[in-house]
Structure formats: C-alpha cells, structure tokens
Amino acid sequence: MVYYIGSFSHPINQQEIIHIQDPAQTESLRAGDVIERWDHVLEWDENCLKASQLEEWRGTGDPLCDEALKSMFPSSSSSVGIDLLKRLEEDAQTNPQGPSKAFLDHAMRLPPDDIAASKEEILLAQTFYLRHSVAIMQSLMHFSLAGGFASPRITRVLQSVSYLLPSSKYQSREMTEQMNNRTFSRLLETSQFILDVMGCMDPYAPMSDTIGCLKPEGEGWKAALRVRLLHGIARKRIMEKLNSSSNVYNTEKDGIPINQEDMAATLGSFSVAPLWCLSRLYPIPIPVSTAGEEAAFIATWRHIGFYLGVDPGILRAHFSSSVNATKFLSSTIIHLLTSYPDEQYYFPPTMPVLRAISGRPPFPKTLAHHCALTRRLLGNSMSTYLGVPSTSILENIRVLKDCVMMQLPILFACYYPRQGWDQTRLTLLRATVPRVIRSQLGLRRTVFRARTETGEIAEGVMAEESVQPDPVGAKKLMRGWWMLLIEMAAAICGFLIIPVGITWKLYT
C-alpha cells in the first residue's frame, strides 16, 4: 500500500519518483521532485528540510530547563519520585535570582501571537479530539509511539533511561510480564498527558471552560511543563552516564539527548500523525469537511509545543499550517528512521509496545490484531523494518470491521437530525476516557515524576497519586452509553426498515 502525503503540483510520473534510501539524498533534492520513503510519497518543496538542516538542530537542547534542573538536583537520582513542577516552584520562591525562577518566569508567559492558538481554535481542536478520540488514541499507540520511537537515535535515548525498553544489559527480545506492565504504564502516562492538554481531565467543566487548561497554572499547562521537566531529567541522566561502561548514547554522533529535532518530531507525531491516520482508519470518507478542525488541531499543538520547549523559530516556520507541518514530519521521518551499517543494533520498541497493550483496555485485542493495525497505519515496508510480522487475511478483515464500527458513530452523527445525540456522545467520551486511563494506571493520576534507573515507580508515589474509585459515576456512565447506543441502533433500524416496508407495500 502506498500513501500519498499532501498535494502535488503536477501529475505523478511513477518512473521519475526518487526512492530515498539515505537521508543524505535530500541534499540534492529540488522543489517539485516527487520522492518516496517507507511507502509514503510526497512532493519536495520549500517546507521540507534537508538532513543537514535537521542535523544542526541536534546540537541544541533546552538550556533554560537544564539550568533549572541543575540548580534543583545535584544528580538525576535525587529527582526520583519528586513532583518536578512543585519542586521548581519551591526553588523559584527560595532563590528568586536563580535559574529556577528564570525558567518559571519564561514558562509563565503566554506564547507570542504568531505561535499562540486562539480560544476558538483551542475549543475547536478539543472538540475534534473528543469526536475522533478513539481513532486518535489508536494512531498514537500504533503509529506515533510504536513507529515514531523506533528511530535508532531515539531508541538509544529510551534505553539509556529505561523508558519503554529495558536498559542495554537486557538486550533481548524476551520481555517479562513486569516489563510489559511498566511499558504499558508509560504509554498510559503519555495518554494522560494528551488528555490533560486537550482539556479532558475534568468531565464536569463545560467545554467552553476547558480552553483555560492551556493558560499558565491550567492543568494542560502543568502537564506540558511537567513533561518538559521530565525530558530534562532524562537528558541529565544520559549526560551523567556518558563516561560509564553502561552508556549507549554518543553525543558526537547523535547530538544532545532529547534535542530540538527530537522534541519537534515528537510534537509532529502528536499533531500531524493522527490526521494522517484518520484517513487510514476510516474506510468511508467523512461527508463533511474537517479542514478547519485540522488547522485548529495543528495550531493548538503549536501552542502546546511552546510550553514543551520547542524552539519558537521551529514552531513559526513548521507548524503555522497543516501543510507545512505535514512536510516537516515527513522530513524528520526520512532523517530519523534510518539505520546505518556501522551502528550497534538495538531492537526498536515497536513489538514491546504492541505486546504491552495486547489484551488490555482501552483496546483489549490480540497481538495479531495490533500487528495488523500497525501495518495498516505504518505501511508494509516500515512495519517489516520494525519487525512487525505480517498477519492473515482474516485478521486484516477483523481490523477493517473494527475500523468500520469505530467510524459508525461519527457517520451517524453527520446524518442524524438530533444534534444533541452527538453532544451527549462527546460528553460521555470526555468522562469515560480519563476514567479508563486512571483505572489502568492503578487508580491514580500521574504528575509525571521521574522513575528509578530501572524504570520503576518510586516508593510511595502510587499512594500519593491515588484517586478514589467512583462506582456510582461508573454506573451512570454505563447507563448513558446504553441509552445512546440504543437510540443509534433504533434510528438505523428505522432507516432500513421504512424503505423495505414501502417497497413491500408497493409490490404487494
């Protein structure tokens, strides 16, 4: 299967497509060239980036954040189990002239006007996310995380800090149940971060109030800043290991760990990749235009990227529209997802991620099902490169059936005259998805604390982050879902039965 990315200024001549095997080939590309990499075909233009340009970004990290962390923690191990944002605020108050105060003052600023998303855009993006939340979560698990983390450079970062993967001394494809649980927990924490920045963690707040979650002191702002600090701890931990025998990271080859390219590529995988995947997950074209919602989604993630520490120049140049954001993500995929013969091989986290999510909510499917869905989203060549096995035709049919069922409520809402039905569905989703995430995290709401060297949660964190179960609320939600689905089923049956009855009457 071939995926065509963006628009083309001229008809595609299959004989003239340039097949990229090495990022260095991008140095000689010209505007108008049609290229292919990993079954993805696009037209090279001024929004694309050559390998040498992206390589320059790898020398820049997040100096403001790093200086603040250096002030707060003499070593990365002293940060384990700490609420990093709370410690930052305490250190800024204690040392008003120190780097923590400088960093916090920077983070408290609103983004510049040409980076900030408007209130209307944020509300539209949050509604778009909720409406397509099931598909977007699938795309994040099977494309952004399973595929995006598989770059050799990013894999070395993950293994250096035991994030998703065991450290290098466990270089084996055998994953224990404990490792699967830890990987699954990390993925759930990422899901909670996305819910936080999309204003979905307080189901009782009106949608019009959730735009404030991205303002300083809002829940989305706090989540973005905590993740930024957590990235800083990972960077600090890797830099401390550079001279140790267990080090797998090479700054001369890979640049600063979690650098500007890594951060911007991650932002692209959260913002652009879900838009790509919707058309791959939904078998039937949506009958209404989503261009405005997609533009708002990109704008909102650009706003979030400012607080995550992505350079403002990158945000302005490459996230100002869905068009240039699409070309940017394509450029980083070409640059990052390439393995060189002289590199030590570290198996990518793709299969560990898929094993970790198999048989668990929110998508309790078999490993074969998750492999089939990953191949549908990533394409055959990239999936094969990442070690995702081919699946049977029957499994692919099951995936297609699930995709149809996933899209059915969205198509139904497009045609059903009672608009309140779709609004009720969004309200139920907004209350249900966070509840599922908290439940799978062990009835807790994480504040993204640093873990131990082996990736374990520090002692006492589970109790400190725990939330109370709400069986009454759960029953109320179940009742709401049943009423909603019964109404949809009745309307669909009525739509099908009435024409049959009329036809029967006419011919009898």
Read out DSSP for 247-312? ----HHHH-SSS-HHHHHHHHHHHHHHHHHHHHHH-SS--SS--HHHHHHHHHHHHHHHHHHT--H
25 lies in some domain: no
CA quadruple 480, 484, 489, 492: dihedral, nearest 10? 170
What does DSSP assign to residue 5?
A: E
Percentages (nearest 5) of helix, strand, coil residues in the chain: 65, 5, 35
Predicted local distance difference test score (pLDDT) of residue 366 = 93
Of 159-168, 226-235, 254-263, 303-312, minimum mean pLDDT range: 159-168
Q: Give me the mean pLDDT over the 268-288 stretch.
A: 91
**What per-residue string of b and e applies to 253-263 under the rule 16 or more CB within 10 Å gives b?**
ebbbbbbbbbb
pLDDT given at position 170: 46
Does 41 reside within a domain?
Answer: no
Domain region containing 59: 50-469
pLDDT (tens digit per residue) in 329-383: 999 999 988 754 445 556 678 888 899 889 887 778 999 999 999 999 999 999 9
* Structure token pair of residue 318: 């490459």
What pLDDT is stored for residue 151 in this prediction? 77
Lowest mean pLDDT: which of 85-94, 208-217, 413-422? 208-217
CA distance 37 to 338: 10
Q: Percent of the chain scored above 70 by pLDDT?
A: 91
In a domain, 485, yes or no: no
The Cα–Cα gap between 273 and 41 comes to 15
Domain assignment present for residue 140? The answer is yes
CA 335 to the chain's CA centroid: 19
Residue 483 lies in a domain: no
Mean pLDDT calculated for residue range 402-424: 93
Closest CA to 388 of 358, 359, 349, 357: 349
Asked whether residue 162 carries a pLDDT value surpassing 70, the answer given is: no
Looking at the structure of the chain, the number of domains it has is 1
- Quote the pLDDT of residue 342: 46
Rounded Cα–Cα distance for residues 198 and 229 (Å): 19
| All residues at 6 or more sequence positions from 192 whose CB lies less than 8 Å from its CB, including other chains | 201, 223, 434, 437, 438, 441, 445, 446
Peptide bond into 362 cis (omega under 30): yes
Assess if residue 506 is contained within a domain: no
Q: Is the pTM of this model over 0.75?
A: yes
Give 3's contacts (C-beta < 8 A, 6+ positions apart): 39, 40, 41, 276, 280, 379
Mean pLDDT across the chain: 88
- Average pLDDT in the 42-68 region? 94
How many angstroms separate the first and last alpha carbons of the chain?
48
At residue 455, the pLDDT reads 78
Mean pLDDT calculated for residue range 476-490: 95
Three-state secondary structure call for residue 64: helix
The model's pLDDT over 445-459, given as tens digits with 9 standing for 90+, comes to 999 998 887 778 888
pLDDT tens sequence across 24-52: 999 999 999 999 999 999 999 999 999 99
Q: Of 478, 156, 114, which Cα lies nearest the Cα of 312?
A: 114
Both tokens assigned to 269? 């995988």
Q: Is the pLDDT of residue 280 over 80?
A: yes
On the CB side of 360, how many CA atoms lie within 13 Å of its CA?
20
**Largest pairwise CA distance in the chain:** 89
Question: Is residue 4, in this structure, part of any structural domain at all?
Answer: no
How far is residue 58's CA from residue 80's CA, in Å, rounded to a whole number?
Answer: 27
pLDDT confidence of residue 130: 93
- Determine the Cα–Cα distance for residues 310 and 267; give it in Å rounded to an integer: 8
Is 101 domain-assigned? yes
